[in-house]
Amino acid sequence: MSIELTVNGRAVSVSVAADTPLLDVLRNHLDLKGSRYGCGLEQCGSCMVVIDGKADYSCVREISAVAGKRIETVESLASHPLHQAFLDEQAGQCGYCLSGILMSAKALLDRNNSPTRADMVTALDSNLCRCGAHPRIIRAIERAAAALREGARANDLREGARS
Amino acid sequence: MSETLPLSILNNRRMEKWVRFQPDRTVKLAVGKVEIGQAVLIALTQIAAEELDIAIDRFAVISGDTADAPDEGSTSSSQSIEMSGRSVRLITAELRARIVDRLARRLNCSPSDIDVLDGAFLLDDEPTGHDYWNFAGDEDFAADIAGTAKPKDPADYKIVGKPVPRRDLAAKISGAGFIHDIVRPDMLHARILRQPSREAVLTAFDEAAVRRAARGDFRIVRVANFVAFVGDDETVVQRAAVAAPAHAKWDKVRKLTPAHQEAAWYLTQPSDDRFVGDSVPDAIAGEVVSETYSRPFVAHAAMAPSCGLAEYRDGRLQVWSHTQGVYPLRNSLADILGLTREQVTVRHAHGAGCYGHNGADDAAVDASVIAMQIPDRCIRVQWRREEEFGYEPVGTAHMTRIKAVLDAAGKPIDWTCEVWAGSHVQRPVYGGNMLTHEALPSPPPAPKPNDPPEAAGGGGTRNGIPLYDFPAKRIIHHLAMTTPVRTSSLRGLGALPNVFALECFVDELAEKAGMDPVTWRLAHLSDPRARRLIESVAERSGWASRGTGGNGKGLGIAWSRYKNKAAYAAVAVEIEVDREVHVRRAWIAADAGLVINPDGATNQLEGGLVHAISMTLKEQVKLDGAGITSLDWDSYPILRFSEIPEISTELVHAPNEPTLGMGECTFGPTAAAIGNAVKHALGVRIRDMPLTRERIAAAILRG
Ligand code: FES
Ligand code: FES
């Protein structure tokens, strides 16, 4: 059967069994390898994507359940401040957890560009990291939030100048 | 030459194995150590760039490749920079000297008149028109590496010692970069039905039931007790593997009980006894004090279940693996499959950080066995989460009993560290078995107990000898003849349980002597590098005002020198205990000699601290029935974002000291600092890890 959805702003249609996990569709049918298999049990966050604006696991979620929805994966973040912030902070060791963490952070920053440490910890608590890169990851998200606020301020100024 | 050459060079004397100048003005650096998240490749590149004076972004690194990179054994025990780094430094310094000397003869000047600027040679600051790429020739690569060239003076370093960012992260956060992401032409996905334990025999298998559950096409490959599901569609073979165990009947399955999961189980087991250190005195007068500490079996618990790819074409087997040793894996594969070593190539591809010997090698064997059955296709084996937790080799449980004889002033005059543990290393080079091999038609015999000797850093004995100024010290090591489940290398081997025991016991001795634990340590320790670190964390953590404790808040300190010869670290932790232990703040001080990349170093120090908090407070592999029963992240929890302390790290600047491996140096001290902080917070001591809610409740009841 054919299922339509939007992935990273692009309308796609996939012909797979209705109960195929979203993660398998992303990795094997759409060649988006950024979302990762860590447990397949909704316990580790390696597979985290953003579905209609909310961070969610993709490893169990069946493709038919996300028909018509907007999916964002780490591949869409290439020019998002988060990407540069993670590189600037060298936030990671092995890096396997990072794409899921970036997506949890993306959903957080979309709704709140001045998150407190507690906000960040809450947003990331579904994500595990074995390497102990947590402190850097928090710093990277703070850095990205600052860049977003800076961008917003510059925008406001431009708007102000125009009006 | 006063110092012997590093093994890496002795085993790989050809210059072109290590360095090649490419026509596009880049440099290929080939090394045997592999990236396991410890940022080793950027550090090695910094060393080469420094000695050759070539900009760092001109380097491309090949690592861990039996066709294209030197054999440097396994990547383990913080050896990468100590050994590989020293080799790369000697090799690149020699190559530069050979080329510059030849140019000096050509230009009729002294080699010291020639400078190198990003690979171009200058004479009296003027360009010579020569550079590495147009001048270096076969003659510079002809002779074997002598290892006698004099590297740069650290005072002249421009690249070493700088926080140069690593290059692999960008790929890893933009969509690829791991072995799991490799796609080969004609690739087939595979999953395995695991033999529940060594010697188990598959007596019945309901193939039809598995096919019904899988709902799609796939092949079943069966070789003796090895069963694999192989097909184009990963979702289908995954479903087959999930369904399969319920439809398989096994005979001769091992039987375990929860008693096997405790370190104390080893006390009842036959052992191969080893002895290290000073001989036992006939009689020694003094008060005898003794306590026993333990750590249970622990998992590597990497975020990614293991993965391996293999393809067999035209009589050659090509394998991709996140193994820590491509050459040892190649040799095992050749032996198991009846191929020559020349027929097998193993290339390293990045996996998730696992800090030891996990399922990586086994997954590569799985893929290779299938590839031999289905030639001309690339076979990709992905382990499942339950499989990783259930079948990777785990870190052995480990019990340490310390016995000290004290003189009238309370100073230890005789010290015995007695250890009961299974093998800390069962890599195949140490006589361990590959998982799949045990399921094949002629399985290998049960592995013999084996452990690295103390001279090689020790396994169960690692850090068992204290570096305090005690006159007589020894280790009695009871290496168990068998382990309930397969055990192998996990970060630091015996260092964590032994340092936990040693540094907790030291606090107990201080208390007995009515002394402050920091004062006690400094009174018995003359190594200035160690003293300085202890003083640093004491000062930064506000030790002087820590008070008598007992109010649920605690501050604890511990230190060690990893392996008694690698990097030094001291750690202080501030904790709060309600029903559970919460580590709120942590202070690290470390001395790793010349630090190649301080940012990478800090990352390792802090990562080791977080890993150790997790292990100390939460982790235990559970055993029952046929094997491991902690098969997911609920039954094997690790530290989460909400539980991470604020960390402050000080890295001592010691550019004239040799580089010391530091990936594991905070690991043991963190565990012991927590143990000591819990005592401070509660007034009671817990000597068995993990320090869980149940153990805390029990300790409080005991008072
Ligand atoms: S892979 Fe989805 S939560 Fe672990
Ligand atoms: S960086 Fe390795 S799991 Fe997070």
Q: Compare all CA atoms of chain B with the CA of A84 and give the residue at the minimum distance.
A: B170
**Annotation: CATH topology of B179-252+300-391:** Aldehyde Oxidoreductase; domain 4 (3.30.365)
Tokens standing for residue B635: 């039954």
Strands B316-321 and B120-123: unpaired
Average pLDDT over residues B592-597: 94
CA A130 to chain B, closest CA, distance in angstroms equals 6
Q: Residue B548's Cα: distance from chain center in Å?
A: 38
Contact A67, A14 (CB under 8 A): no
Candidate from B2-11, B498-507, B635-644 with smallest mean pLDDT: B2-11
Pocket test for ligand 2, best of A44, A93, A141 (most atoms within 8 A of CB): A93
Distance B411 CA to ligand 2 centre (A): 44
Of B36, B175, B183, the CB nearest to A75: B175
Q: Which residues of chain B have a CB within 8 Å of the CB of A120?
A: 641
Q: Which residues of chain B have a CB within 8 Å of the CB of A125?
A: 640-642
Distance B385 CA to ligand 1 centre (A): 9
CA B380 to chain A, closest CA, distance in angstroms equals 13
Contact B50, B157 (CB under 8 A): yes
CATH number of B398-424+459-702: 3.30.365.10
Ligand nearest to the CA of A46: 1
Does the structure show a pLDDT above 60 at B1?
no
Read off the pLDDT of residues B84-93 as tens digits, 9 standing for 90 and up: 899 999 999 9
Paired residues of B116 in beta bridges: B121
Q: Whose CA is nearest to atom 3 of ligand 1?
A: A42
> In this complex, is the C-beta atom of B302 within 8 Å of any C-beta atom belonging to chain A?
yes
pLDDT given for residue B637 in this prediction: 98
> Taking the model in full, what pTM does it have?
0.95
> In this complex, is the C-beta atom of B609 within 8 Å of any C-beta atom belonging to chain A?
yes
Question: Do B2-166 and B179-252+300-391 come out as alike in CATH topology?
Answer: yes
In sign, the C-alpha dihedral spanning B169, B170, B172, B177 is: negative
pLDDT given for residue B76 in this prediction: 67
Q: Which of A88, A89, A130 to mutate to test the interface with B (most CBs of B within 10 A)?
A: A130
Read off the pLDDT of residues B483-495 as tens digits, 9 standing for 90 and up: 999 999 999 999 9
Residue of B418, B422, B419 whose CA lies nearest to B397: B422
Q: Compare all CA atoms of chain B with the CA of A96 and give the residue at the minimum distance.
A: B352
CA B610 to chain A, closest CA, distance in angstroms equals 5
Backbone angles phi, psi at B31, to 5 degrees: -135, 160
Ligand nearest to the CA of A135: 2
Q: Which residues of chain A have a CB within 8 Å of the CB of B304?
A: 36-38, 46, 96
- SS3 helix, strand, coil % of chain A, rounded to 5? 45, 15, 40
In sign, the C-alpha dihedral spanning A154, A158, A160, A161 is: positive
- SS3 helix, strand, coil % of chain B, rounded to 5? 35, 25, 40
Reported ipTM: the value is: 0.96
Q: Which residues of chain B have a CB within 8 Å of the CB of A139?
A: none
Q: Which of B631, B641, B648 to mutate to test the interface with A (most CBs of A within 10 A)?
A: B641
Q: Which residues, given as ranges, of chain A have pLDDT below 50?
A: none
Atom index in ligand 1 nearest the CA of residue B633 equals 4
**Annotation: CATH topology of B2-166:** Aldehyde Oxidoreductase; domain 4 (3.30.365)
Does the structure show a pLDDT above 80 at B78?
no
Domains observed in chain A: 2-162 (3.10.20.30)
Read off the pLDDT of residues B332-376 as tens digits, 9 standing for 90 and up: 999 999 999 999 999 999 999 999 999 999 999 999 999 999 999
Of A73, A93, A138, the CB nearest to B603: A93
Ligand nearest to the CA of A37: 1
Candidate from B62-71, B286-295, B675-684, B687-696 with smallest mean pLDDT: B62-71
Candidate from B424-433, B516-525, B578-587, B621-630 with smallest mean pLDDT: B424-433
Distance B180 CA to ligand 1 centre (A): 15
pLDDT given for residue B643 in this prediction: 97
Residue of B355, B89, B325 whose CA lies nearest to A131: B355
Q: Which residues of chain B have a CB within 8 Å of the CB of A86?
A: 169, 173
Tokens standing for residue B519: 């004062």
What residues does each domain of chain B span? 2-166, 179-252+300-391, 398-424+459-702
